[in-house]
Structure 1
Amino acid sequence: MSKNVLIVGATRGLGASLRKLYAAKASTQVFATARSNKAPDTNSQSNVSWLQNVDLTKPDVGEKLVSQLPSSTKLATVIITAGYFGLESFDSPDWDKQVQMYTTSAIAPVFVVQKLVKSGFLNEGSKVILVSSESGSITLRHEKEGGGNYGHHASKTALNMVGKLLSLDLKPNGIAVGLVHPGFMRTEMTKGVGFDKFWDDGGAVTPDEAAKSLALFVDEFDISKTGEYWAPRGPGDIGTAEPVLGSNLPTPLQLPW
C-alpha cells in the first residue's frame, strides 16, 4: 500500500534530504513544496510531485498548497521544515527579520495545517511534524550561550506553543502533532549566519544524517506522544543540555519547554 508524505520546504537543507530519503522508497509518494514557480530538477525521482509558489510568508499559503494536491489524497505524514534565520544582536535588532522569522516559523504552520485538515487531506492516523529547534526551549537558555538572536529563538518558542495547541485541537481527530529539534546541521542557513565556525565543536551533522534520524523518529511517533517536544538525535549537539538537565541523558531526548 502506498504512503503519501508532504514535505513543506523541500528545495534545500533538511527538507531536500527528507524529500530524497522518502522518495527512495518506491511505495511512498512525496509531495514537495517550493517557494518559487520553478521546482528543482528531480527527474530521477518519479514519485515526487512538486507544489509550487508555496510561500510561508504569504497569507494564502494554505490555499496555494491544498489547491495543488489531488482531491483524493490522504497524507500519512506532513513535515513542515521550512525556516528562515536572520542574525541579530542586542545592539542591532532587525524588525523585518523578526517579522519574517515569526511568520515563517509560527504563523504559517497554523494556516497550512488548518487547510489540510479542513480539506480532508489529514485524518485519523496522520502525523504532523513541526521542525522546531532546541533554541526554542526557554529552560535550555543559559548564560553559557548568552543572549541575542531574539527573533530566531522566540519564533521557535512560539512554534512550540503552536504545536502544542494544534495537538489539542487535532487529538480528537486522531491526528498526532510533534515538535522536533532535528539537530545542529551543516547547512547554508547556519553557514549564512556564521555558525559554520561552531560546526566541528558543536557536533553538527549533514542534512542527510539529520533526515535519517528524524525519519526513524517519525516512524515510531504516534498519538501517545502528541504535543511533545523531542530531539531525535539526543543531547549531543545541544550545548546547554548537560549544564541544565544533567549528564547521562537519553537518545531520543524529550526536551523541556
Structure 2
Amino acid sequence: MPTVLIVGATRGLGASLAKAYAKADNQVLATARSSNPPANSKNITYIPGIDISTPNAGPTILNFLHARKITHLDIVVITAGYFATESLKEPSFDAQEKMYRTCVIGPTILTTALANDSDTLLGNKSKVIFVSSESGSITLRHESEGGGNYGHHASKTALNMSTKLLSLDLKERGVAVVAVHPGFMRTEMTKGVGFDKFWDDGGAVTPDEAAKSLAEWIETFDISKTGQYWAPRGPADIGTAEPVLGPKDKLSTPLQLPW
C-alpha cells in the first residue's frame, strides 16, 4: 500500500486530498496543527501538533514515522499556507514574516529533514509536491492586475526556487520534486481575504475538484518533470494567462507555467 504524507490536511485542499488518497486505498498520514485532530478513519492517520511555520515540525513528523517504522514515503504533498493581503500604503512586516515561514521556510526545512533522515524515506520514485500558486510566477505578473500582496506573491516565488534547488539535490536519488498551482479555490482562505467576490468570474472550484485533478496529475508526474512548475487544471483560472502567454484556447491543459 503506497504511503502518502499530506501536510496541512484538516481543511481545504489538504483535507480533500487526504480523503481522495484514502479512498484510493493509500496509507495517508495527515498532519494537523491542532493537538486534537479529527478521529482517524479508514486509511487516514492524523499527526497532531504540526505547525509547518515552526522548527519542530520536521522532528515531530520524523518521530511519528520512526515510531511506526515507516521507511519510505511514496508521495509528499505540502499544502499548508497563509495569505494576508497588503498594499503599497498598508504593508505588514509581521504578515510577510508569517507568509515566508509558512509558505517557503517551513516546507523547505521539512523536506530537507525528510531527505536527511535516510536515503530511503525520500528515495527512488518518491514524489514531493509543493502547493505553490500562479501568483509566484514573475513572468505572469502583468500590469492588468497591479501590484500589492508582496508577501503572498514573493513567498510563492521563493517556494518555486526551493523547488528547483531541491530537485537538483535529490535528482540522483530518484526523487521527483515539483511546484504546482492547483487552481483558484473556493476556500476559507480565499474568502478570508475577500477573494470570494472573484469566485464566479475567476472560475474558482471546490477543494474536492482541485484535489481530484491534482491527484490525477500526480499519477503522471515522474522524474522527467522534476524541478518544473505546473498547473494541472490549465490556464482557465489564471487571469494573466492571455495577456502574457496568449489565447487560453491555444494553451494546453495541464499547463507548464513559466517561472
TM-score, normalisation: structure 2: 0.96
Which secondary structure state, in structure 2, belongs to the residue aligned with residue 250 of structure 1? coil
1:209-228 superposed matches below 5 A: 209-228=209-228
Query: For residues 197 and 161 of structure 2, what CA distance do their matches in structure 1 show?
Result: 31
Q: How many residues align?
A: 253
Give 1:72 shift.
3.2
Q: CA deviation at 1:64?
A: 1.2
Equivalent residue, structure 1, for 2:27: 29
CA displacement, residues 107-161 of structure 1 (integer Å, 9 cap, x when unaligned): 1112111111222321111000000000000000001111100000000000000
Question: Of 72, 75, 78, which residue of structure 1 is paired with 2:76?
Answer: 78
Unmatched 5+ residue regions in structure 1? Answer: none
CA displacement, residues 31-56 of structure 1 (integer Å, 9 cap, x when unaligned): 000012111235xx321111111111
Structure 2: where are the runs of 5+ without partners?
A: none
RMSD: 0.9
Which residues of 2 match residues 1-257 of structure 1 at below 5 A? 2-26=1-25, 28-42=26-40, 45-69=41-65, 70-120=68-118, 121-247=121-247, 248-257=250-259
Q: Which moved more, 1:106-115 or 1:238-247?
A: 106-115
The one-letter amino acid paired with 1:57 is: S
Comparing 111-120 with 171-180, greater Cα deviation is found at 111-120
TM-score, normalised via structure 1 length: 0.97
Larger CA deviation: 72-81 vs 227-236: 72-81
Deviations 1:57-83 (A, max 9, x none): 111211111111123331100000000
Structure 2 Cα separation of the partners of residues 220 and 66 of structure 1: 28
In the alignment, residue 196 of structure 1 is paired with which amino acid?
D
Aligned sequence identity (%): 65
* Structure 2: distance between partners of 1:62 and 1:220: 28
**Runs ≥4 residues deviating over 3 A:** none
